[in-house]
Amino acid sequence: MGLPLTVARALSLACSLACTAVPPREGRLAVSEVSRAPATDAPSEAPSASAKALPKRSELFFATTLDGELVLWEFTTRGVAPFNQLLAREVQNVLYTPELELFWYSDATRLWVIDTRNLDVSTWQPVLIASNLPQNDRLHVERSGSHYTGPGRISDETMELDLHWEARPWIGGGADGQRLENLDGAAWLTRERARPARAVPVSDFTRAGHRVTLPPDWTGCKGPDGTCAAALPFGPRGWELVVTNEDFGGDFLEHECLVHDPATHTFATPPDGKKWAAPREVPPGPCGPYLFNHGNDAFLVSDVVCSVGGACTQLEGTGKGWLDPGGIVGGE
């Protein structure tokens, strides 16, 4: 895995909607034989005031489906629930900035944003920020010296669209590098420019202060960046996410990880961790980023959502972040 913000691979955890979660075994990260997330062929309507109460904010997460829809799904201790709120269709690129409580997304020619501070998600109304956008692969927002970047790694071919959220906001970049100044959402951007930011902890391997001892003849580390054996706290059970493999894959340095239990000095493959053993006896998994919820007991990684030590569910899409986020652990 390269080091943020997209996950190159996650385990395939297949099952059907009718499956029942297998009770977690002591010491396991998650159980993979569980339900599949709901499809969005018939998205539910926004609940009315008389409808059943909305799920808890702490259980809701954003996802993009295979059909290009942006949705809110619910995850509980029983797995992904039937709740499904459609937010947008024909979505191409996304950028979730939980620090600002904003979700940005683009379609073929327009940039939108959703303000997620309102507790009633059924009342959310996307704000049109800009039209006639150039072709782009990734969204980037800069405000007051802080940079927020969407999923994906920069290469020579990347066409990044940059929103400069200044006193007079403008957009640059994209395929032709043009500068857009007459923005549809200029008034909204001016009004919201001073909105407060909240802290979202980010732990990445380049700043890891702890290393795990691997076998003396370990051969998985071939990269030059010195992140092998770097360890980050992973969930509430004292486990650590450890870089155990690094090598060049194409243009990027690829990293793979294991989860380490310091109490037993055994390792498991993330995200599901079905077997704990010596590092040579378990294959490595993705290094993240693992997007934890506010309770630090569930996480998203690529197309998988898991409870730490509990159930795992494969999504019919890709998880983008929790409405009530916790920390971000690891990276590409």
Buried b (16+ CB within 10 A) or exposed e, 73-84: bbbeeebbbebb
Phi, psi (rounded to 5 degrees) for 300? -110, 140
Residue 208 has pLDDT above 60, yes or no: yes
In this structure, the number of other CB atoms found within 10 A of the CB of residue 267 comes to 27
Residues 6+ apart with CB under 8 A from 254: 1, 2, 8, 246, 247, 248
Partners of 289 in beta bridges: none
Instruction: Locate 170 and state its tokens.
Output: 């403008």
Distance, first Cα to last Cα, the chain: 5
Cα dihedral value 260, 262, 265, 270, nearest 10: -10
Mean pLDDT value of segment 239-262: 87
Residue 2 has pLDDT above 50, yes or no: no
For residue 183, what is the enclosing H or E element? none
Which has more confidence, 79 or 50? 79
Residue 247 has pLDDT above 70, yes or no: yes
Read off the pLDDT band of 60 (50, 70, 90).
very high
Read off the pLDDT band of 266 (50, 70, 90).
very high
- Please give the DSSP secondary-structure letter assigned to residue 296: S
In this structure, the number of other CB atoms found within 10 A of the CB of residue 46 comes to 15
Question: Which pLDDT score is estimated for 113?
Answer: 98
Backbone angle region of 67, left / alpha / beta, with phi > 0 → left and psi within -120 to 50 → alpha: alpha
The mean of the pLDDT values for the chain is 82
Q: Are 277 and 252 contacting, i.e. CB atoms less than 8 angstroms apart? A: no
Q: pLDDT tens digits, residue range 300-321? A: 999 999 998 877 899 999 999 9
Read off the pLDDT band of 273 (50, 70, 90).
confident
Which has more confidence, 162 or 82? 162
Mean pLDDT value of segment 67-82: 92
Using DSSP's 3-state secondary structure scheme, residue 70 falls into strand
Question: Which pLDDT score is estimated for 196?
Answer: 94
Question: Which pLDDT score is estimated for 153?
Answer: 57
Determine the Cα–Cα distance for residues 296 and 279; give it in Å rounded to an integer: 25
Residue 239 vs residues 29, 276, 280: alpha-carbon distances, Å: 9, 12, 18
Determine the Cα–Cα distance for residues 284 and 214; give it in Å rounded to an integer: 13
Q: Are 287 and 258 contacting, i.e. CB atoms less than 8 angstroms apart? A: no
Residue 298 has pLDDT above 80, yes or no: yes
Read off the pLDDT band of 187 (50, 70, 90).
very high
Instruction: Locate 66 and state its tokens.
Output: 């295979």
- Please give the DSSP secondary-structure letter assigned to residue 125: -
Percent pLDDT > 90 in the chain is 60
Residue 148 vs residues 6, 23, 98, 122, 295: alpha-carbon distances, Å: 14, 39, 10, 26, 24
User: Hey, which of 49-58, 98-107, 207-216 has the most confident mean pLDDT?
Assistant: 98-107
Residue 13 has pLDDT above 80, yes or no: no
Partners of 293 in beta bridges: 325
Instruction: Locate 59 and state its tokens.
Output: 């259980």
Residue 147 has pLDDT above 50, yes or no: yes
Q: Where are the alpha helices (DSSP H) in 124-226?
A: 186-192
Report residue 294 CA to chain centroid gap.
14
* From 14-18, 73-77, 143-147, 300-304, the region with the lowest mean pLDDT: 14-18
What is the DSSP track for 130-198?
Answer: ESSPPP-SEEEEEETTEEEE-SS---TT--EEEEE-SSS-EEEESSS---B-S-TTHHHHHHHTT----
Read off the pLDDT band of 38 (50, 70, 90).
very low
Question: Which pLDDT score is estimated for 39?
Answer: 44
Mean pLDDT value of segment 179-192: 96
Tokens 């506010």 — which residue?
294
Any idea how long the chain is? 332
In this structure, the number of other CB atoms found within 10 A of the CB of residue 10 comes to 23
Residue 15 has pLDDT above 70, yes or no: no
Q: Are 8 and 286 contacting, i.e. CB atoms less than 8 angstroms apart? A: yes
Which has more confidence, 63 or 4? 63
Question: Which pLDDT score is estimated for 82?
Answer: 86
Mean pLDDT value of segment 107-122: 92
Q: What angle do CA 138, 144, 145 make, to 5 degrees?
A: 70
Mean pLDDT value of segment 259-266: 96
Question: Which pLDDT score is estimated for 65?
Answer: 97
